[in-house]
Structure 1
Amino acid sequence: MGKSKRTFDKAFKKKAVDLYLKGDMSYQSVANELGIDKKQVRRWVGFYEAEGMQGLEEKRGKAKGPAKGRPRTNPEDPEQKIRRLEAENEMLKKLLKM
């Protein structure tokens, strides 16, 4: 089984960012102290510098924009559906006669 993704709250992320931005700790030393990967610390610092506290919010699973959620496929027009089904029936009838 693969690793499950851990999530961290904003306070934990802010603590990691603050430890790094004080200037006396590297990404690796912050990661070692908090028990996380140094790439994660680097990512959080980048998000914080670009967007502030909003950059540290969890973004997974949140839809963006006015049309939130997965886009729906275009439903078939009832007439198109009837034509498609009739064509399928004709094809099946031809196959059964063989």
Structure 2
Amino acid sequence: MGNIRRTFTVEEKLRAVQLCLQGEQSTSSVAQSLGISRSMVTRWTRHYEAEGVQGLEEKRGKAKGLNKGWPRVKPLSLEEEVIRLRAEVDFLKKLKALRKE
């Protein structure tokens, strides 16, 4: 079997990032104490610096957009369906024009 992914809470990630940013510990020592790679702590730090605490939240499984994620349980509204169909028509027109060239 493969390795099991360990997920960390936002609080755990924030504490690790703060230790690195305040200079109390290096990224290597924080990573070693958590049992993860140094690149993971570095990634958390970059996300925190770019987005704040929201950058440390779990993003897996939060698909956004019309055709992402699980199949729809309820149908699209009429407006959403019109938008989707117009985009499809525009795409097909461009594809047809490219094929003529």
So what's the TM-score if we normalise by structure 1?
Answer: 0.64
Instruction: Quote the Cα distance in structure 1 between the aligned partners of 2:7 and 2:34.
Output: 14
Which string of whole-angstrom CA distances, capped at 9 and with x for unpartnered residues, describes residues 42-70 of structure 1? 010010001001100000111124x2525
TM-score (norm 2): 0.62
Q: Share of identical aligned residues, percent?
A: 59
Within 2, Cα distance between the matches of 1:5 and 1:35? 12
- Cα RMSD, aligned residues only: 1.8
- Report how many aligned residue pairs link the two structures: 71
In structure 1, the gaps of 5 or more residues are: 73-98
Higher-Rg member (1/2): 1
Aligned residue number for residue 13 of structure 2:
13
Corresponding residue for 2:77? none
Partner secondary structure for residue 39 of structure 1: helix
5+ residue gaps, structure 2: 73-101
Q: Hey, which bits of structure 1, 4+ residues long, moved more than 3 A?
A: none
d(CA) in 1 for partners of 2:49 and 2:21?
10
